[in-house]
Structure 1
């Protein structure tokens, strides 16, 4: 069993995945199966687009040293193998720092794989629920202050709810989940401050109307099942938080795509991007938590 940690500036968090040594899976295949965005064009060791830096957690390991002829030639052409590394490969069987992800096989070793990523790709937002996809607007956002008043309400409700859950979890002795909700509450407080800073005068009495895409006339980031359950695991908490963040994202998405005023649409789009980042961060946290649970079960 090998632990492979992927790290990149284009990823919100590092992701550690597990692979069976000897299965002859490449780093690129492993990354693609976990939706990790290593750039790749030819996927056959000829273009060099999937170059990564590999660091072994066990020093001077002999695993993973074998380079294919294609990989060796491309790395030499790109200047990614030093003379010292060539000497170490020949004399000590030590692997070079840089590898091609499509050629490097996963071995029985724990490694850190870093890559730059393709920063030219457009950011893709989270998938929308059916309601949000067909939503045509239940409130006419005819002024920026009106939209920001709704934003303040959304983020204030979210922050208060996270903080209440954090307190409930702490009282139940579930400190791990309490800490998680406290952190999420701080994120909402930051977004709340941002909305208030942009607003000249906000209305603290606004409510998301029943004609919106969300049921029960509730603020988008409020969810019924967020009860203070002492048995709630960290994974449960993350999934609940993800649902709330998705609904927050959908709220801003709807305004960004239905408001008539260009300034309102621009600010809503900015908030939409931030909520999308929260959603993607939570999804990565969930993946890491599920991976940790699988490892413990093994």
Structure 2
């Protein structure tokens, strides 16, 4: 994470602005995936993505409450967010892993990857920052994300990997070429 953005924001405020955006983008992506699954008549996976989006919104609210202790968050332009080597929030599930016939197992694997990336992001911030308050918060957030990783792994136990032919569709959608 950059230590300063245009306009001079630094420290805890900038870190918390990143944390809010991380959760906001994750929730938005899960909503987009849920919409797509609903359009493809995959209600079970759509519901799971809606639930995951709800958890991200809950986490954003927790960050907002923490931020109240530090004053208003800085305004950060979309291009000023620093996600390391990524171009979007580490917790935004990747569209490339989505499929209209995917099963809950696949959705949870996507969530697991996102939570792992979130934990790694926060751990990296904690390791790289020179601000002790940012380091403390980043370690706390990394620990929370690791808890999410454990939880998603437990959920995966309820949804074993589907058969190899899970994506076969006898009536695939029409594709205009």
Q: What TM bracket, shorter-length normalisation?
A: 0.7 to 0.9
Q: Which of 44, 49, 72 does residue 176 from structure 1 map onto? A: 44
1:205 is aligned to 2:63: no
Match of 2:160 in 1: 290
Map Cα deviations across residues 73-132 of structure 1 (whole Å, 9 max, x no partner).
Answer: xxxxxxxxxxxxxxxxxxxxxxxxxxxxxxxxxxxxxxxxxxxxxxxxxxxxxxxxxxxx
Contact 1:153 1:204 in 2 (8 A): no
The higher radius of gyration belongs to: 1
Aligned residues: 152
Tell me how far apart the structure 2 counterparts of residues 192 and 205 of structure 1 sit (CA, whole Å).
Answer: 18
Tell me how far apart the structure 1 counterparts of residues 150 and 19 of structure 2 sit (CA, whole Å).
Answer: 20
Shift, 1:287, TM fit: 2.7
Q: TM-score normalised to the size of structure 2? A: 0.77
Contact 1:159 1:185 in 2 (8 A): yes
Which protein has greater RCO, CA pairs closer than 8 Å, 6+ apart? 2
Q: Which structure features the higher share of strand residues?
A: 1
Map Cα deviations across residues 19-39 of structure 1 (whole Å, 9 max, x no partner).
Answer: xxxxxxxxxxxxxxxxxxxxx
Q: TM-score normalised to the size of structure 1? A: 0.47
* Change in 2 beyond 3 A, CA 1:185/1:171: same
Aligned alpha-carbon RMSD (Å): 2.1
Match of 2:91 in 1: 221
Tell me how far apart the structure 2 counterparts of residues 234 and 166 of structure 1 sit (CA, whole Å).
Answer: 12
Tell me how far apart the structure 2 counterparts of residues 162 and 244 of structure 1 sit (CA, whole Å).
Answer: 11
1:139 is aligned to 2:2: yes
- Unmatched segments (≥5 aa) in structure 2: 5-9, 164-177
Shift, 1:224, TM fit: 4.0
- Unmatched segments (≥5 aa) in structure 1: 1-137
Q: Which structure features the higher share of helix residues?
A: 2
